[in-house]
Structure 1
Amino acid sequence: MASLYLENCRVYEKIFLLQNSSFDQLTDSEDELSGLVGRGSYIEALKTPASQAVFNCIGERVDNLKQHITDAVSHFLNSKHSGDNATARHTVFCIGISVLQLFVQSNFTGPVLVSTLLDLFPIMEKEDENKEVVRTSAMEYIAENTEGVYPLLRNPEYLMMAKLLLCNLLDSKLVSGFTNDWWAMRCYIILQRVADEPSSVFYESIQKCINEMEPVMKKDRELHALFYLEAGQAYLLYSDVRQAAEHFHKADAALKLKYELSGALGKRTKFQVEAKPQLVLKVQYEDQPLLAGEAEGPKLLPIDLPKDLQLNDDTRLPHYKFEEDDDRVPNLVPIEQLAILVKLQHMRRSSASDLQLQEESKAYLNALLQFPKCWAIQYISLLLRSKIESQESRAMDRSLQQLNELVDCFKRDEPSRFERLKLFYASKLPASWVIKQTYGRLLVQLGCTKSALVHFEELQLWEDVIDCYNTIQMRQRSEEIIRRLLEKEQTPKLYCLLGDATDKIEHYEKAWELSNKKSSRAQRSLGDHYFNIKDYKKASEHYQTSLDICYIQLSVWAKMGYSALEAEDWRLCSKSYRMCTVLEPDSFEYWNNLGKAHANLKDFTASLRCLKEAARLRSDCWKIFQNIVIAAVTVGKLPDAITAYRRLLALQPRHVNIPVLKKMVEVYLTNRTEENGLKLYKELSKFLSEMCNTCPSESELWHCYGAVVSTNPQPTVESRDLSYQHYRKSLSTYARGSTWYKDKDMCKNAIMKLLRVEEALMECIEGVAPESALNSFRSAFMSLNNVMLLARKGVTNVATGEVVPDCVELLKDGNASVDRIKTKIDTLAAKCSS
């Protein structure tokens, strides 16, 4: 057992070696195999007698290499060490790890392998065998449960064997070693990353592995952090941002690492005199670094790491110059750097791209690039920085050169494969063709479309080829290329690409039929076709079919939600956006649209909850707060409506929505009780007072204010007079100007306001001295009489002298109101003179 556990092994080595104690009794041969796998000598491990014995136990190879491997391993597991085959299972497990790591080396980290699988296992080689047939067979097995894989995979036989051993044969038989689920998860992740489309089968298998591993991981704190980082990256691969965030948080808790963005004074340019606040990442520990006592391993020289190219600009500094090294971070160990890296990747995946995100990303990258230690982390950090700088004119040149440097890194022999593979799975290092694709897309961005076109054709990235030909207005050329490929092989993917190149729906339908009605991409393309021509009902039908085949498609859920929204299918809209919020809970648009769907379904409580979440994620969008106000008023939550309206006014200072304000007053009048009446009154009256001060010319606003003040739970002479003044202000602002009386409806509204002013006036003089009351009535009479004179003129036909029929009764009420005030004046005047 001692050979399985290396003293002081680092966290990124433990997972290669850690196994259950049932492997105590190992022969010298298996002991040697474990040591080679632990040191990353995978080719040597496969050449050991223990590995070779697995495939020497049966006769000559059958034509199908996959079947031969299956038969050999099954025979080996069932025959060796009869009664206790733990050692045999451990041997097969080590072979599975080795072939998976070799495939990753050849396609993701480099350098490319020279030895093929049959070179390492000569016993499996057949004389005069067509190597292309073996490759095709391996590709077909890898592509099971997918819609195709990248066609230029190197050494696919290694991944075929890894899938057979780690995901199929050992999944049910290797129950003694608890890390077999971890390695199965890693294998599924690699299978997904080489596939063209998301696979729900792989997603469910990964979830199963994570659920099996999670209880075990709590036993080892070091592996705890790494496991959760990898599990989070697996969820992020399928755009399940919520699950990813939960696992990243668990990793941070295990590491006891705290980091947050802060500000520090610094300079960006060579000629800058005064330091300005810049974003920096502050890193702290709750107690001590997790690996503070870690045994020192071999240090990588700068020449062994991807080269960090310096910015050669006559204005900008290569790095921000901070005062007193405010940007310095602790000398983090690789696993701690990794935690920061995945936080950055999660942030960039879950947030909308804007200037703030770019600045925050730079702060994270500055912290990661200060003390480079791990090849994979340095590689990803430089790649992310290149993507950011590709949008900046002064750094675009370095971005292009840095990407070229990263492409070249793949071909170099140093550092060793073991150094490159450390933390590979948790870092989400892209495949070699993805890096080249990024380089080609930057060429397109720089206007070098034809150079990029050659690049994409060599990589067989046909989607990018079509985009390039569309850019240079040669769409017929992309059609020619796809048709030439179809002459060699007809696949659903190629027919979908032909449909993209020609915009003809029959090609998508052909792809659907060719796939035996199993291609989610074909249905997605059909949905996109109808979506583009705004036939949203049909688009939703095809999107639903695509999701029935593979439900982990965030973009499809979003498009189906929008299609249902436009078609006013609110139940489907609600279902779609609810799934979007599960997969990506940090998108304010999804929450806002889900709130709209609930509102149209008359579920205003759920609508309010969704809109609040949208506002939390996007606090600078006034329309969200307007929707919150409407939803809160509808469900009768006046405090929420007032709070949201205040936020709305902070963004739109003079925003007045009279129907909503009237509804707020109505809610107040309906919901007030003896317990909450005074509190609601104070909140609403204060809010309306602030609004009237901001928008003093809004007549209806003063009317609402007067209506609230008139209901003061503790009325006084002052409050009644204040209500009267607000009503009078409402009337005066409404009847301001010389043209309002020409509109019949405005005349009617003016008379109704006048009647309310009279009512408030009668209430406010109760308990007031006759002299003060007389002054109030005389002042009111002058203004009200003027309003009635103009209103009477507005509702009277000039030619006939007759009052408009529907205004007769209202005009009588108005005249009577003025007469009552005049009578009251006479009465008060007589009383004062006596």
Structure 2
Amino acid sequence: MPLHTFFDRAGRMQPIERALLAAVWDDGLQHPWPPSTVELAKNVVNGAFRDPLTSSAARSLFTIHVKGTSENCADLPLDKWFDFTPTTSALSEEDELLRLTLAAACLHAFIQANWTGPDVDVQPLEVISVPPELSQIITEELLNQKSTAELAYGGEPAYHLSKNPIFLRLAKLLFDIPYHHCQTAPWWRLRTWFVHQQVLDEPTAVPPGVLSSVEPLLKNLSSEPDLFGALTLEQGLLEHLLGHDKTAAEYFVRAARATQLEYELTGALGKRTKFQQNDITQLVLLAESRQREDCPPESPDTAESSAKSMPDDSDSAGNDVTIPETLALNDDTLLEQTEFTSSSTATNTSRLNHINPSSQPALHPLDQCILLAMCLNVRNTSPSHGITAEQMSPYVARVISHPRNWSVHTMALLLRSRLESTRTRTVERSTLQLQALVDQMPTADSPTAERLRFVHALPLPSRWEMEHELARRFLSLGVVKSALEIFERLEMWEDVVRCWQSMERRDRGIAIVRDLLEGRKAEADVVLERGKAKSATEQRRRTLDAAREAKLWCLLGDLEPEHAREHYEHAWAVSAETSGRAMRSLGGFHFARAEYPETIACLRRAVAINPLLARSWFILGCAYVRVEDWEGAREGFTRCVTIDDEDGESWNNLASVYLRMGETGKKVEPEDDEAGDGKVEEKVADLTISDESSGSIPFSNKMLAFRALKQGLKFSYENWRMWNNYMVIAMDVGELSEACRALGRVVEERSTKDGAGCVDEEVLERLVDAVTRAPADPAEAVEGGGNNAQPMHNPNEGHGLLRRVTDLFERTILPRVSSPRIFRAWARLLTWQGRWEDALNAYLDGYRCSAAGTMEKGETDVVKWREAVTEVEDIVDVLRNFGPRAESFNWRLQARSIVRTFIGRTKDFEDEPEWSRLIVLQEDVRKEG
């Protein structure tokens, strides 16, 4: 679609704004602007940032205007140095366009320096005009130090070794000014925040207007499917970075709809190994892009799947671009990629059934970005089990098969490297591929514009984060020395200390942190090179911003538990009460010592600074539980599951809290509350409900607890404690079918270790009661709205519950465990069904494992013997009552045998009064014979 057809609601500058957003320049652009302004925008689009940023217009805009003496210049924030918004009059359209263009140039220069490479060819002091009287004070080092300090946000420090952070800071300052003519400024502000979040140690909540301000722009993009899809995708990526996975998933699907991307995860016959004889169904992602006017369709045969140069579909000049090297697997068993032997899929009704899985058409790079985003969503919204990697692989393979863009292909290779890192046959390629991706960053093997075009539509990690990931990979493989070298070069001291701790050298870690705080490390080599060895300590202290210093004090507190509180409090003071890390550490310190009021005070400050960390909310909720503040505990655990809805422990604790709240949120006495042992690791609250406590809990709270546990069990399926809690609550709210399922899961998980003790026999008996209280004849068990022809059954009682309870006995309990009560409950259920012979056998099985059936000669326990006498009488009564109803069952012989055997084994008790009862019983069964 030609650029000049873009919506024109506010005037003349929209085509240039669109070109800046789409990163594609059209020489036939219709515009009314001076050639100098147009040339600036064209250079920015083409990735040539030196000319725009060193132009006279940029030098004029980036001139430092500091009021006061030169001595206090370094103490002023950067926004006071420049005059981006004149106070006398509003900015003209051309002035706004100039600021927008230069802000985009600053942002992309920062991304090029720290994400895509190669190194930028312009330095900050070539961009910023410094008055002569300030030339000795304002240095590049000062600019970067102030920028890093000001980029700290939400109590989280910015990475201190990022290159040219002044460019990101200038971009933020320019995009934050009010724009009245440039409609796309909110979109650029969204992009800037996405980059800013990745510079911080931990993501923090963004201002609410960042996402909402682009909604009006979306309405005007309805006729531009690619721009609409790109903006929606970028919204989703920001939500993904903030941990809002469900919201991100909705954005990704909306983006696919906008670009009219057709995709389907299905199966097709194929082979995965070299020696495979039979074809089996393999997962495959079928996908097809819509045909674009400015991008002719490409034959699958022309798109190479190997790492080599190939023409990009969007390169109007027809230049070849080089993609990252794709390493071969070279395994003696696994194929390089799945070989599909069928030209059709398992789903014949699919809209994409016409696509051959082994020869799919090439996708547009934007659609590839959407598929990679969906791949991330598969990881974040699936339970933690093995199928997740299998689901992700087809997404990645679909993108890798047709390289179209340098950055997109880099992201796809990175995701494949992560997926392959846990498999023995692929871990070598995984590590070497990651190393190759790190090594390619500084190279200039592809145009800058090509690398930057889709960078905002990808969750591509920064250069230092990718190196950090490589170091962690080395560490997981046991290559500690190589990992340590990378961590030290990146000055990621927490990881350095972790490496030394893994080598049992905690003292070395303490020495490193103290050297950093006292200025004896990390700057020494640089200072010596500059001939300033005498000022090393002063230089280090000056460049160490408050956020980083606070983090180091927290790290020292972790290493020196005996002085932890002192170090954490000092970190809080150093940061001017802005370090969330300090308050999180101090809160954990108090919690471990059962100082719960102090824990609550600290963590309240921590979550106010950065509310996105679920761990802080979890410990805060636990602290509220200890002091029995159920309203506060509910808030804490609710925030946990809001941030991460797959946190099964938080769902369980939230259910526990609901059961301890009164109707108005007032606390009630808990039943068997958690022991105050001060362990942060105690995650699962005990949830034991007695009849007395149950009566004081509102039914609405019980239902909230039931739903919370049901949600949590989706992600903690093997947590038997949660299943046990779920069973108790389900019984209490009348969801007996779910209670039956929960009891079965507990037995499956615990029978090997606990035997019959894993069965809650009282619950089992109540389940049998719920079935047997209904009429045995199904026709008589008609409930509201039914009739004799079509009876309606409640799934939680009677015939509606019968199948579930029967399966519980036959498939789960009886094959694993046995006890007298279990067999008696089973016998009652069989009796209700009229299965008399099966019921008698069940009663007899129960007797055989009872005290009477297991009593041997020489027993001396009188109490046990008296109990056994009663059991003998009971089983004889059962045989008398039900034996005549069971055809071909010789109940009389069974009764005589039981009494005779028991008397023979227990003759040592002939002097006991109960012995006469046995003699009378024996005579009675003889007469009945």
TM-score range with shorter-chain normalisation?
Answer: 0.7 to 0.9
1-side partners of 2:268 and 2:294: how far apart?
31
1-side partners of 2:889 and 2:86: how far apart?
110
State the 1:184 CA deviation. 0.9
Aligned in 2, Cα 1:605/1:30: closer, same or farther, shift over 3 Å?
A: same
2:62–2:82 CA contact under 8 A, matched in 1: yes
State the 1:681 CA deviation. 2.5
Kindly report which structure 2 residues correspond to 1:31-70, keeping only aligned pairs within 5 A, or say none.
31-47=38-54, 51=58, 54=61, 64=73
Match in the other structure for 1:95 = 102
Helix, strand or coil: the match of 2:853?
Answer: coil
2:431–2:473 CA contact under 8 A, matched in 1: yes
Aligned in 2, Cα 1:608/1:761: closer, same or farther, shift over 3 Å?
A: farther
Kindly report which structure 2 residues correspond to 1:772-783, keeping only aligned pairs within 5 A, or say none.
778=892, 782=896
Aligned in 2, Cα 1:9/1:59: closer, same or farther, shift over 3 Å?
A: closer
2-side partners of 1:562 and 1:327: how far apart?
53
State the 1:450 CA deviation. 2.8
2:550 equivalent to 1:492? yes
2:762 equivalent to 1:704? no
2:368 equivalent to 1:361? no
**What's the CA shift string for 1:251-283, capped at 9, x where partnerless?**
23334445454444544554x242564743322
Match in the other structure for 1:434 = 465
Aligned in 2, Cα 1:779/1:179: closer, same or farther, shift over 3 Å?
A: farther
State the 1:43 CA deviation. 3.5
Kindly report which structure 2 residues correspond to 1:71-110, keeping only aligned pairs within 5 A, or say none.
73-76=83-86, 78-79=88-89, 85-110=92-117
Match in the other structure for 2:855 = 738
**What's the CA shift string for 1:795-827, capped at 9, x where partnerless?**
x6x6x6345xxxx9xx98x9999999899x59x
Aligned in 2, Cα 1:403/1:677: closer, same or farther, shift over 3 Å?
A: closer
Q: 2:413 aligns with which of 382, 395, 399?
A: 382
2-side partners of 1:534 and 1:388: how far apart?
41
Match in the other structure for 1:280 = 283
1:727–1:757 CA contact under 8 A, matched in 2: no
Match in the other structure for 2:559 = 501
Aligned in 2, Cα 1:542/1:281: closer, same or farther, shift over 3 Å?
A: farther
Match in the other structure for 2:574 = 514
State the 1:102 CA deviation. 1.1
State the 1:149 CA deviation. 1.3
Helix, strand or coil: the match of 1:441?
Answer: helix
Aligned in 2, Cα 1:408/1:733: closer, same or farther, shift over 3 Å?
A: closer
2:625–2:633 CA contact under 8 A, matched in 1: yes
Match in the other structure for 1:751 = 870
Helix, strand or coil: the match of 1:736?
Answer: helix
2-side partners of 1:572 and 1:220: how far apart?
47
**What's the CA shift string for 1:362-397, capped at 9, x where partnerless?**
333222210011222111122222333343444444
Q: 2:245 aligns with which of 241, 244, 248?
A: 241
**What's the CA shift string for 1:111-132, capped at 9, x where partnerless?**
1223123313547675444412
1-side partners of 2:505 and 2:912: how far apart?
76
Aligned in 2, Cα 1:549/1:141: closer, same or farther, shift over 3 Å?
A: closer
Aligned in 2, Cα 1:470/1:781: closer, same or farther, shift over 3 Å?
A: closer
2:117 equivalent to 1:117? no
Kindly report which structure 2 residues correspond to 1:249-268, keeping only aligned pairs within 5 A, or say none.
249-257=253-261, 259-268=263-272
Name whichever of 785-794 and 612-621 sits farther off.
Answer: 785-794
Helix, strand or coil: the match of 1:151?
Answer: coil
**What's the CA shift string for 1:389-422, capped at 9, x where partnerless?**
3434444443333223222222112322211112
2-side partners of 1:516 and 1:56: how far apart?
31
Match in the other structure for 1:330 = 361
Helix, strand or coil: the match of 2:404?
Answer: coil
2:768 equivalent to 1:665? yes
Name whichever of 741-750 and 390-399 sits farther off.
Answer: 741-750
**TM-score scaled by length of structure 1:** 0.80
Amino acid at match of 1:700: R
Match in the other structure for 2:370 = 339
Higher helix share: 1
2:637–2:653 CA contact under 8 A, matched in 1: yes
1-side partners of 2:68 and 2:113: how far apart?
26
Q: 1:136 aligns with which of 139, 145, 168?
A: 145
2:611 equivalent to 1:551? yes
Q: Aligned pairs, how many?
A: 790
Match in the other structure for 1:453 = 484
Name whichever of 289-298 and 137-146 sits farther off.
Answer: 289-298
Match in the other structure for 2:778 = none
**What's the CA shift string for 1:529-565, capped at 9, x where partnerless?**
5667898887666444422321111233345556778
2:639 equivalent to 1:579? yes
Aligned in 2, Cα 1:683/1:530: closer, same or farther, shift over 3 Å?
A: same
Q: Which runs of 5+ in 2 are unaligned?
A: 8-13, 297-312, 343-355, 519-539, 660-686, 690-696, 753-757, 776-780, 784-791
Aligned in 2, Cα 1:196/1:76: closer, same or farther, shift over 3 Å?
A: same
1-side partners of 2:865 and 2:264: how far apart?
58
State the 1:37 CA deviation. 3.9
Q: 1:181 aligns with which of 178, 186, 190?
A: 186
Q: Which runs of 5+ in 1 are unaligned?
A: 713-717, 827-834
1:685–1:709 CA contact under 8 A, matched in 2: no
2:727 equivalent to 1:629? yes
Match in the other structure for 2:788 = none
2-side partners of 1:581 and 1:276: how far apart?
43
Match in the other structure for 2:739 = 641
2:20–2:41 CA contact under 8 A, matched in 1: no
2-side partners of 1:75 and 1:316: how far apart?
61
2-side partners of 1:225 and 1:181: how far apart?
16
State the 1:701 CA deviation. 3.0
Identity across aligned pairs (percent)? Answer: 24
**What's the CA shift string for 1:273-302, capped at 9, x where partnerless?**
4256474332245xx627476465218988
1:279–1:359 CA contact under 8 A, matched in 2: no
Aligned in 2, Cα 1:591/1:121: closer, same or farther, shift over 3 Å?
A: same
Match in the other structure for 2:160 = 151
**What's the CA shift string for 1:203-251, capped at 9, x where partnerless?**
5454444666565555643223222221221122122223222322322
Aligned in 2, Cα 1:678/1:68: closer, same or farther, shift over 3 Å?
A: closer
Amino acid at match of 2:391: E
Helix, strand or coil: the match of 1:387?
Answer: helix
Helix, strand or coil: the match of 1:444?
Answer: helix
Amino acid at match of 1:152: L
2-side partners of 1:596 and 1:274: how far apart?
54
State the 1:103 CA deviation. 1.1
1:5–1:17 CA contact under 8 A, matched in 2: no
Amino acid at match of 1:363: P
Helix, strand or coil: the match of 2:337?
Answer: strand
1-side partners of 2:396 and 2:375: how far apart?
8
1-side partners of 2:285 and 2:865: how far apart?
62
1:29–1:50 CA contact under 8 A, matched in 2: no
Amino acid at match of 1:467: R
2:314 equivalent to 1:306? no
Name whichever of 339-348 and 1-10 sits farther off.
Answer: 1-10
**What's the CA shift string for 1:666-724, capped at 9, x where partnerless?**
44467998626787332444444445545285432332234345567xxxxx5678767
1-side partners of 2:499 and 2:246: how far apart?
35
2:230 equivalent to 1:226? yes
Aligned in 2, Cα 1:540/1:660: closer, same or farther, shift over 3 Å?
A: farther
2-side partners of 1:719 and 1:449: how far apart?
68
1-side partners of 2:822 and 2:439: how far apart?
68
Match in the other structure for 1:611 = 709
**TM-score scaled by length of structure 2:** 0.73
Match in the other structure for 1:830 = none
RMSD: 4.6
